[in-house]
């Protein structure tokens, strides 16, 4: 059962990688990298049960935290253009190419 789960996660990784490669807009790519990190977390969790090394679950939890914080930072940077704007100023400077 874990083998089937890991195979399904690998297929999903391929699909997400294709979206990250093609992704017409910035937000496609951000969603792709977020989903990619989530799938890596799931893959590590399945591997932990597959190889009975349950200490890998802690690593998966830390990856989930890093993924979340990283995506929040990327979104803040894309919307505001820097890290130190508070968000109440209506300056939407999307500084990245859309293509």
Partner 1 sequence: MIDVFIDVTLLAFLAITAVAIVRMTNLFAIVMLFGIFSFLSAAMFVVMDAVDVAFTEAAVGAGISTVLMLATIALTKDQNEKQSRSHRSWLPLAVVIVTGAALVYGTLDIPAFGDPEAPAQMYVAPYYLERSIAETGVPNVVTAVLASYRGFDTLGEVVVVFTAGIAVLLLIGGKRQKSNTRKNEKKRK
Please select the residue that binds partner 1; options are 1, 52, 83, 90, rule is CB under 8 A. Answer: 83
Q: Which of residues 37-76 bind partner 1 (CB under 8 A)?
A: 37, 40, 43-44, 47, 50-51, 55-56, 59, 62-63, 66-67, 69-70, 73-74
Contacts of the segment 11-16: beta carbons below 8 A, 24+ positions apart: 12/39, 13/39, 13/40, 13/43
- Please, are residues 41 and 71 in contact by the beta-carbon 8 Å criterion? no
| CA neighbor of 72 nearest in space, from 37, 24, 42, 23 | 37
Q: Which two tokens stand for residue 47?
A: 């591997």
Task: List interacting residues with partner 1 (CB under 8 A).
Answer: 3, 6-7, 10, 13-14, 17, 20-21, 23, 26, 29-30, 32-33, 36-37, 40, 43-44, 47, 50-51, 55-56, 59, 62-63, 66-67, 69-70, 73-74, 77-78, 81-85, 91, 93-97, 99
């Amino acid at each position: 059962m874990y083998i089937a789960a890991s195979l399904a996660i690998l297929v999903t990784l391929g699909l997400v990688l294709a979206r990250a490669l093609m992704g017409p807009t910035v937000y496609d790519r951000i969603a792709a990298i977020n989903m990619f990190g989530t799938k890596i977390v799931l893959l590590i969790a399945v591997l932990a049960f597959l190889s009975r090394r349950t200490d890998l679950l802690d690593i998966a939890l830390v990856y989930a935290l890093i993924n979340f914080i990283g995506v929040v930072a990327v979104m803040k940077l894309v919307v505001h253009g820097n890290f130190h704007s508070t968000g109440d100023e209506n300056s939407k400077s999307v500084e990245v190419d859309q293509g």
